Structure 1
């Protein structure tokens, strides 16, 4: 057992080295792939930090520290970790409400939660989050990210932007006359360049072409556009010393909901990215090792002044296309980013914010899941409702509430559909060899059948069956051959059914009880209440038992007369 637990958390890097070894050609391939990914990650890391209303170096710190650890300790062969656009809304809200130190503490708490999730093997459970909920909040985040870039995209003269969607929208409308035409041109050309390279020259990273082109254009023509330098000043060329945030019980209590949101987002994003990588390469990731690595990475990112981190789907796909062979490519991507920060910061700060806004606008469009939204809108009504509600709440309220409401609504609608699916009736099927129509039914015996799980949603319906009888039968047979599952409410309903039938002097017989359901009945001691002789595995035995009871009752009644 301990060995299985240890193996599930063993980093993919160690597993590969142990089973396959590592050659010079592998290292060269990983070195080149890491460089390509670092070139893509450089502008994205800074853009995500700026979109979160934080200095750009925070994004670089995250990409270097968390990117290194996610590859070294994670469970995916090709995963590239770092700051992602999915965190922008949550990060900006936490930093605005609790300050950057509060964000650091929430990030480290999220890391601990992710590690706990890996210990309890929650990696397999993430897939049970309803698909419409995932698409709903992802699309909502995409719209919020796009909206957060309107100021820099159009060069609006706005000192501070409110966090909520409605006030942000009204502010932008009121400042449209302050639009900077140079910023708009740079932004539109940047979007065009990214789309052009993605379609016609996919091997060349469009974002790096954009920042180089935009930076040179602003410098050559002295365009009046904000740059990283003009808004944030110089950025450090070294990682900061690790620091531990102030901790108090009150802070932990206040930040717990945000930490849970960050952990859930990190888990979903990283595992989705790992699944995408598996689909592209035919490999298999270790979900719990991935969560463990994500946990360590987020704790370390907080120590070194970074942001929440997770697996980045676009950067992971770039890593694969660049020829990566092992997680060393992700480690080298972090190394190259550190080299860039060490030697290129005088050039990096010349990047115009309009270009970074354009990059994030394209990222937001790719996140919007338009294709999947169209698919869900053709799905059953319940899925459409979940998608729309989650999407609207993500935009108008917050991500925490949206995810909780989406999952709760999905659960309620699922229970409703299960209640409609589960039937309690006299089941007649001419093709069924065990149909009651093919059996000889003793007098004063009623037979009903449950089709589907007997859970809390259907328990009341079972008890209501008694209202269908004009005269109480001597024996009531409840067929349970199609009951795969029973919960506490279902067991309680059987108990109440037995009590009410007993008051009417009716004997309850359970027929076709499967092994799993039988075990729950025994654990609840219902077999003693109902009688072991009245719990049988086939309808023929139930009818034989019913005949014995009816014969005995009729004989007793005659004797009594």
Structure 2
């Protein structure tokens, strides 16, 4: 059995600590208001909401266009789903709306089944998400292996880039194929329709976006880039397509909710697409919530978040909108802008609504090559090049899972990619465990008796720890299904310890997800001013940590051969920076 044993903490009765089930679904908005909310909080949230709305405004339109829908659809999704995700969700700072991850999925559904098909699939996905939350499946989504997540995220990034070649080059293609290879065949077949004006505008916009991101990262990069490109198109009379020429503009009102007609056979036909939307929405929303937790030091309610995502997707579908989920970039923008409660996310949706009601005609002048440049930058940010480089130094099995998931996402389908990736990761884990069992089977009884005797000394060892030092012991393999628990160990203390010893002598192996969990623990220790000591590392964990860039720096992270050495290091001051 895998366990993380706590040392030096009072025992807590499990039944006494267990909260009522209904508390899992209480929106964070209710929690915030209970604790008090004043005028100063409102001013800060409104400012953060306005900042996020400036980012979300052009991005929502660009995401909708890339998905094969109208720009107004993206705005309506950001308004309705964005408001409900913040109002009902389990995260204090989550910002919801259309995201880049949905582009290839939504494009394929619209291409095969039309907009009505997408609405039905999104309604079904909303019901699945609500059901998943009520069944408390949110915790299970944390068990997704890191190579699978990185593989399908990078695959989606490549699909997004591929979908933008038409507008980047101004190619004259009536209907763009959904399949990866067919798209590139269409591009090469129509390369003669290449537009110098469209390509030049796209490259100029992309250059401007990169320069602003590099030298003025706090500026609203997307809005500035799109505004400058629109002004240049208008003043220079550039012969490029705009939102107005292709879509006829953006309406200045919200659509009336309606249900499309459907039959049982159609529901069955759309079931795989609905499952993909639900899965992707659930995983991305919880990943975004975890990122937000790390930025604000909070803790989201995963099952409540899934219920909110389900309600928001249902409402979005009823007004003809796109699937929605938590958006990591917009959530991070919200936190950096000072947003600390769900009211900031609700305000961001209301600011976008204000734009639709008052200034929607301005969107008619936005050139599509500029929107394509915006999405190219989004795709690059999604690609996680540094994470891929790190994972390619992981064991061969983790690399294979990453590559297979990536290729299947690009060439076939996200659902197939995730299914195959998770199955490969499971078989890889079973193979590793079989090797560990074979090694452990040669341990003799004398060694086992000595280990049992040593465990009886835990209380005395705990008493010998210096002031401000805490220790945990991990027993068993640190792999993807348990790695997330490492991130919670410091939460058990009322205040961060001066030194934290993680005893790993009983950890026979660590995979890529386990390394990621240790990285997150190191980052949290650095934020809290805690020195981390890893003691008793076996050969496989030590080798993998070294390969993936985790080494002793004498200031924040140290390695100890055994627990006694760790205690000695804990009692000594940290080495000076650079020493």
Equivalent in the alignment of 1:275:
290
Equivalent in the alignment of 2:404:
389
After superposing the two structures, state which structure 1 stretch, 282-291 or 216-225, moved more: 282-291
Equivalent in the alignment of 1:200:
215
Note if contact 2:229-2:367 (Cα within 8 Å) is conserved in structure 1.
yes
Residues 87-129 of structure 1: CA deviation (Å, up to 9, x unaligned):
0000011111111111111111111111111112111111111
Query: Is 1:52 equivalent to 2:67 in the alignment?
Result: yes
Equivalent in the alignment of 2:561:
none
Offset, 1:418: 1.7
Separation in 2, partners of 1:116, 1:266: 14
Equivalent in the alignment of 1:255:
270
Query: Is 1:305 equivalent to 2:320 in the alignment?
Result: yes
Residues 466-515 of structure 1: CA deviation (Å, up to 9, x unaligned):
xxxxxxxxxxxxxxxx9xxxxxxxxxxxxxxxxxxxxxxxxxxxxxxxxx
Equivalent in the alignment of 1:541:
none
Q: 1:75 aligns with which of 90, 100, 109?
A: 90
Separation in 2, partners of 1:283, 1:452: 28
Residues 408-454 of structure 1: CA deviation (Å, up to 9, x unaligned):
1111222222222223997354861649xxxxxxxxxxxxxxx999x
Q: 1:15 aligns with which of 28, 31, 38?
A: 31
Note if contact 2:249-2:363 (Cα within 8 Å) is conserved in structure 1.
no
TM-score by length of structure 2 reads 0.73
Q: 1:4 aligns with which of 20, 27, 31?
A: 20
Equivalent in the alignment of 1:519:
none
Equivalent in the alignment of 2:47:
32
Task: Could you tell me which runs of 5 or more consecutive residues in structure 2 were left unpaired when the two chains were aligned.
Answer: 1-14, 451-474, 478-505, 507-579
SS, match of residue 7 in structure 1: helix
Residues 151-180 of structure 1: CA deviation (Å, up to 9, x unaligned):
101111111111111111111122223221
Note if contact 1:269-1:311 (Cα within 8 Å) is conserved in structure 2.
yes
Alignment of 1:45-444 (within 5 A): 45-423=60-438, 427=442, 429=444, 432=447, 434=449
Note if contact 1:423-1:452 (Cα within 8 Å) is conserved in structure 2.
no
Note if contact 1:58-1:307 (Cα within 8 Å) is conserved in structure 2.
yes
Equivalent in the alignment of 2:472:
none
Note if contact 1:422-1:452 (Cα within 8 Å) is conserved in structure 2.
no
Separation in 2, partners of 1:372, 1:423: 32
Separation in 1, partners of 2:228, 2:439: 70
List structure 1 segments (4+ residues) > 4 angstroms apart after TM superposition: none
Separation in 1, partners of 2:41, 2:200: 43
Offset, 1:403: 1.0
SS, match of residue 422 in structure 1: helix
Residues 264-296 of structure 1: CA deviation (Å, up to 9, x unaligned):
111111111111111111111111111111010
Task: Could you tell me which runs of 5 or more consecutive residues in structure 1 were left unpaired when the two chains were aligned.
Answer: 436-450, 454-481, 483-561
Separation in 2, partners of 1:205, 1:56: 19
Separation in 2, partners of 1:176, 1:122: 48
The 3 A distance-change label for structure 1 pair 325 and 452 is closer
Note if contact 1:237-1:343 (Cα within 8 Å) is conserved in structure 2.
yes
SS, match of residue 32 in structure 1: helix
SS, match of residue 92 in structure 2: coil
Alignment of 1:508-547 (within 5 A): none
Separation in 2, partners of 1:288, 1:424: 39
The 3 A distance-change label for structure 1 pair 75 and 192 is same
After superposing the two structures, state which structure 1 stretch, 153-162 or 139-148, moved more: 153-162
The 3 A distance-change label for structure 1 pair 103 and 452 is same
Aligned residues: CA RMSD: 2.0
Offset, 1:191: 1.2
What is the count of residue pairs matched by the alignment? Answer: 439
Equivalent in the alignment of 1:506:
none
Equivalent in the alignment of 1:532:
none
Equivalent in the alignment of 2:481:
none
Separation in 2, partners of 1:271, 1:9: 15
Larger Rg: 1
The 3 A distance-change label for structure 1 pair 177 and 420 is same
Separation in 1, partners of 2:441, 2:28: 55
